[in-house]
Amino acid sequence: MTDQSDLTTTLGKLTLKNPFMLASAPPTASVEHILRGFRAGWGGAVIKTIHPDGMAIRDVSPRFAAWKGAGGELLGFENIELLSKKSVSYWEAGIGQIREEFPDRILIASIMGDPDPKSWQELAGTVQDAGCDAIELNVSCPHGMPEAGVGAAIGQNPPLVNQLTRSVVKSVKVPVYVKMTPNITDITLPAKAAAAGGAAGISAINSVQSLCGVDIETFGPHPSVDGMSTHGGYSGPAIKPIGLGRVAAIAGCIDLPVMGIGGVSTWQDAVEYLLLGASAVQVCTAVMWNGYGIVKEMNRGLVSYLAWKGFSSPDELRGLGLRQLTAHQSLSRDVRIRPVITDAKKCDGCGRCVVACRDGGYGAIRLVKKKPIIDPAACDGCGLCILVCPSGALGALEDQ
């Protein structure tokens, strides 16, 4: 493996040893958490959101729920956890301790004040003076905090995002990032408002408001807290498509660095975010599920990928995929794919493609002696049969 310095990544004016950062969440809930993360090889970390000492934070139990596949693999994860339980003074001292042991890592302080911008300014000044490299404004928490007039209650209101960003930016010298909520119709509006307010960059996305599931025996949604539940924040692999879409939208409308967040579990996920305009990625749920050590394979995989594709830095991937995004009206109507059997040995005649095409497509496939026969006159080229084929026997040819 090439030296990890090959993964050096620029994030605006900041420089990361690699593009993998720990998100503001349970894996950054204490100084020891962050130190263990940095020892494992993470390029940066965003501290679990710091708040004024007068803001009471009392978590419920339990506060997590998971949607798992048949093999126990994580598909989606919900949490109703609140902000940091540590005091401001704890983080003042802790930031210095982290900086002393890891001066080469990027440490960002996530903060949330009350509805008065002055509380945000005071917190920003405190964490800046303690030694943080940047500040992330949490205006996107989807549960608990909006009821108090902060969190997503601010992030869903572009004028408030602009006002708050402007007030914090003018009070500090370090870069200020604003973390976007996906729980809004058009995420580009608060992103543009943050940019107009002087933000150095954008973090996207926070978790998606959700209910992870319902116990069909007791009728209670998960997680159950003494028989009751509430809407929470959804994360994990299931939200990656949402995060990718939001990052692409933001990167396409403002010229600021973006930290991509949402469902990053592998180096391949990170590459997708970089290709759609992100400068770095933040990871939370995958660490909670598998531990800090996942960054080692992320680093190894990304180094190999860059060498294979002939790139010398993750920076060179940034935004390459945006070139192939366009409006729906601009997509070609002249090209059609045609499903074909690319590997006859893989086809076992299961008939999944026949059922899918019959009930969800155009009835263009039938089984003859346990082999699919495709009627080109009936096929509309939707591609459903290829997606449902469990063995990978079906592929696509492109007809002009």
Residue 223, preceding peptide bond in cis (omega within 30° of 0): yes
Whether the Cβ atoms of residue 284 and residue 233 lie closer than 8 Å to each other: no
Q: What is the pLDDT of residue 3?
A: 45
The single-letter DSSP state of residue 207 is: P
Which residues are CB-contacts of 191 (< 8 A; sequence separation ≥ 6)? 178, 180, 202, 204, 249, 250, 253, 254
Same domain? 336 vs 318: no
Same domain? 337 vs 377: yes
- What DSSP string runs through 26-62? GGGSSHHHHHHHHHHT-SEEEEEEE--TTS-----SS
Structure tokens at 283: 């990871």
Same domain? 241 vs 208: yes
Q: What is the pLDDT of residue 2?
A: 41
Structure tokens at 104: 């080469």
Out of 302, 324, 346, pick the residue that ends a domain. Answer: 324
Nearest to 25 by CA among 87, 76, 79: 79
Same domain? 13 vs 103: yes
Helices (H), the chain: 31-40, 88-101, 117-130, 152-155, 158-169, 188-196, 240-251, 267-275, 285-290, 294-309, 352-360, 384-388
Number of domains in the chain: 2
* Positions in the chain short of pLDDT 50: 1-4
Whether the Cβ atoms of residue 184 and residue 205 lie closer than 8 Å to each other: no
Same domain? 219 vs 84: yes
Q: What is the pLDDT of residue 23?
A: 98
Structure tokens at 256: 């600021």
The 3-state DSSP composition of the chain as helix, strand, coil percent (nearest 5) reads 35, 20, 40
CATH code assigned at 239: 3.20.20.70
Range of the domain at 380: 332-399
Active-site residue flag, 141: yes
Same domain? 285 vs 385: no
- Under the phi-then-psi rule, with left for phi > 0, alpha for psi from -120 to 50, and beta for the rest, what region is 305? alpha
Same domain? 284 vs 305: yes
Q: What are the φ and ψ backbone dihedral angles of 252, each rounded to 5 degrees?
A: -80, -10
Q: What is the pLDDT of residue 399?
A: 81
Out of 324, 341, 371, pick the residue that ends a domain. Answer: 324
Same domain? 225 vs 356: no
The C-alpha atoms of residue 124 and residue 112 are separated, in whole angstroms, by 9
Whether the Cβ atoms of residue 199 and residue 155 lie closer than 8 Å to each other: no
Same domain? 171 vs 259: yes
The C-alpha atoms of residue 269 and residue 239 are separated, in whole angstroms, by 12
Same domain? 357 vs 302: no
CATH code assigned at 371: 3.30.70.20
The C-alpha atoms of residue 200 and residue 108 are separated, in whole angstroms, by 13
Same domain? 311 vs 352: no
Q: What is the pLDDT of residue 56?
A: 87
How many CA atoms, within 13 angstroms, populate the side-chain half-sphere of residue 262? 31
Q: What is the pLDDT of residue 1?
A: 38
Whether the Cβ atoms of residue 336 and residue 399 lie closer than 8 Å to each other: yes
| Catalytic option among 132, 141, 212, 385 | 141
How distant, in Å, are the alpha carbons of 186, 319, 331, 343, 345 from that of 327?
16, 17, 7, 35, 39
Whether the Cβ atoms of residue 82 and residue 57 lie closer than 8 Å to each other: yes
Whether the Cβ atoms of residue 75 and residue 9 lie closer than 8 Å to each other: no
Nearest to 207 by CA among 244, 242, 158: 242
The C-alpha atoms of residue 154 and residue 134 are separated, in whole angstroms, by 20
| C-alpha torsion 38→7→111→244, nearest 10 | -130
Which residues are CB-contacts of 239 (< 8 A; sequence separation ≥ 6)? 76, 182, 205, 207, 208, 262, 263
Tens-digit pLDDT profile for residues 20-71:
999 999 999 999 999 999 999 999 999 999 999 999 899 999 999 999 999 9
Out of 270, 302, 324, pick the residue that ends a domain. Answer: 324
Same domain? 254 vs 388: no
With H, G, I as helix, E, B as strand and everything else as coil, classify residue 271. Answer: helix
